[in-house]
Chain A
Amino acid sequence: AQSVTQLDSQVPVFEEAPVELRCNYSSSVSVYLFWYVQYPNQGLQLLLKYLSGSTLVKGINGFEAEFNKSQTSFHLRKPSVHISDTAEYFCAVIITGGGNKLTFGTGTQLKVEL
Chain B
Amino acid sequence: DTAVSQTPKYLVTQMGNDKSIKCEQNLGHDTMYWYKQDSKKFLKIMFSYNNKELIINETVPNRFSPKSPDKAHLNLHINSLELGDSAVYFCASSQALSGTYNEQFFGPGTRLTVL
Query: Is the CB–CB distance between A43 and B97 below 8 Å?
Result: no
Query: Is the CB–CB distance between A43 and B90 below 8 Å?
Result: yes
Is B94 positioned at the interface, with any CB of A under 8 Å from its CB?
Answer: yes
* Chain A positions 82 through 105: 1 when the CB is less than 8 Å from some CB of chain B, otherwise 0: 000000101000101101111110
Instruction: State which of A102, A103, A106 has its C-beta within 8 Å of the C-beta of B40.
Output: A106
**Which of A13-21, A44-52, A72-80 lies at the binding interface?**
A44-52
Query: Is the CB–CB distance between A42 and B48 below 8 Å?
Result: no
Instruction: State which of A42, A97, A104 has its C-beta within 8 Å of the C-beta of B42.
Output: A104
Which residue from chain A places its CB closest to the CB of B107 in the assembled complex? Answer: A43
Chain B, 48-70, CB within 8 A of any chain A CB: 48, 55-56
Which residue from chain B places its CB closest to the CB of A38 in the assembled complex? Answer: B41
Query: Is the CB–CB distance between B109 and A42 below 8 Å?
Result: yes
Query: Is the CB–CB distance between B106 and A104 below 8 Å?
Result: no
Tell me which residues across on chain B come within 8 A of A32, comparing CB atoms.
101
Known: A41-B109, A43-B106, A88-B41. 14 other contacts (CB 8 A): A43-B90, A43-B107, A44-B43, A44-B92, A49-B103, A90-B43, A96-B100, A97-B99, A99-B48, A100-B104, A101-B48, A102-B35, A106-B40, A106-B42
The chain B residues found within 8 Å of chain A, CB to CB, are 4, 31, 35, 40-45, 48, 55-56, 90, 92, 94, 97, 99-104, 106-109
Closest 4 CB pairs of A and B: A43-B106, A104-B43, A44-B106, A43-B108
